[in-house]
Structure 1
Amino acid sequence: MAYVASNAASLLEGSGVDPIQVDRDVREHRLDPTVFARYYELVLSLQRGQRDEAQRLYREIADRSRGAAAFAVLPFGERDFGPEAERYQRWLSPGQTGSGLVRAPVKEDWAAFSAGVPAALALIAAADSDLAAELRSCVVRIVGASDNPEGPRSFGGASSFMLWGAVFLNVALHRTRTEIAAGLVHESAHQVLFALSCREPVVANALDARFASPLRRDPRPIIGVYHATFVCARMGYAFRAMLAGACGLARDERADLGDQLDKARADFAKGFVTLQESGHLTDLGRRLLDEAAASLEVD
């Protein structure tokens, strides 16, 4: 925030915001995901020279950064999100038009999902306390939603750098504690990589080049392949920890996690090969990829 305030002082002057205080609050507090969304909206409004809009967003960022955001598990929709629902839709799929990626969850599916989240978090904590702490440090909102049949693509889970701290899961696909745990590890891994690479990129490939991804049918830019590969490693590590820990797994849970571990390892291997052959990795990207491989015991 200090950088923005100093470089756009002429447009932000008169907003009534103390730039030193808002910078301190942003650094010190656990933030609501919409603070990050407003930051990107602020930057865009400054680039367009929209003084009034920029000052309004700057004041809203200051107001919403004064205290720490509380962790919450919520169903998506206007009842719980109010006018912020539109902002979430917009930044979950930037550049997309239409009615949005997600919709309010089906009541019965939401009931199973909301009841299963505490058990899923407990399962992750029993498997690996550090992994659970990392998830809690990154995720502020766990949002249950249903797929929007009119959306830009199908939805199983979603997160966005512009909504850092929010994880969306499809409640119809995440009903049991192991399904929810897998979804949380998957989406929180994106959040972790967003944070680790916020100052330095992990790849230097051209953005218009496309490659096969281990998690998507459509060809993806190399950063998408990197994210998918990193996510596979995190999921595989979590499944291995659940199987090895004192997690009280039922026989069917153990069998399912074993299958998911095998798939995560196979998918990681596919992404790893693509990154080795085609990725222009930075030093950070190479280090994180090597650490990911080591976590799965992959050479």
Structure 2
Amino acid sequence: MGGANQTRVTEFLLLGFSEQPGQEQVPFSLFLCAYLLIIAGNLLIILAIGCDSRLHTPMYFFLANLSWVDICLSSVTMSKTLVGHIVGSKSISYAECMTQMYFFMTFGNMDGFLLSVMAYDRYTAICCPLRYTMIMRPRLCVLLVAVSWVITNLHSLLHTLLMVQLTFCSSNVVHHFFCDPYAVLKLSCSDTFVNDIVVFTVGGLIFLIPFSCIIISYAYILSNVLKLPTARGLRKALSTCGSHLTVVSLFYGAVLGVYMHPSSSYSVRDMVTAITFTVLTPLVNPFIYSLRNRDMKEALRKLIIIRRIVLSRSQY
């Protein structure tokens, strides 16, 4: 249905992992394993934080929110393609595509805002340790997350409303495994000048504000850390930031590679880069934060022990 220029597109075809059906089994298996690991790993992080009272602190509150957003981001981007492969259909309706795009932008931007809030939390803990509990009050933590949700939803709503004003009347083949805004925008036969302007202005601000907060926070942290008198204090301060910096590098490196150029220059290679923050980052987040954190490892150990006790009692 994408062949006739005068036919209005009512559905899109997600090429997914490969244009050749016979070559999709291996990528599908890898994606399915990755998706199941993302769900399991991030759910374990959320359960561990919820069940251990020692982890009821601002840092772990933000981490639990990040894990939840990662689950949602992966579900939005991966589930449709995985289900489509199982049932043998690559099609996605116009309404489903716009909805998927909306939630992808919401959860993707929310990742960036949460990373910036976590950077501010680390700045407060290292640079203002005596006032940390007074500054990072529960009310402020909830407010920071709530404001982030409002901003990201409004941003996604703006882009989606602009997208539905466009006409898609030629090709309906999306060279991606989900309805990526750039990949869909390239298919429009309307003038996308306004969309591109909004992407570089509003979208640029949504990207730069949290990214700038992260840079400024770590500039102050580095300045403070260099003043520490002992090497032990230096290592302790840096260890609290190492996991966060690793995730920030993966996430923002991929975003810069895919979305910091005009939509007209979008290519299939950008799909590979998009996998970094839609699949790889949510996949490695639980391992990065748990393996490098003693309190998290202890909480996970307790969670596993409790599960074994419950299972053993249920057998009697």
User: What TM-score, normalized to structure 2?
Assistant: 0.28
Q: Greater share of helix residues, 1 or 2? A: 2
Structure of higher CA gyration radius: 2
User: What TM-score, normalized to structure 1?
Assistant: 0.29
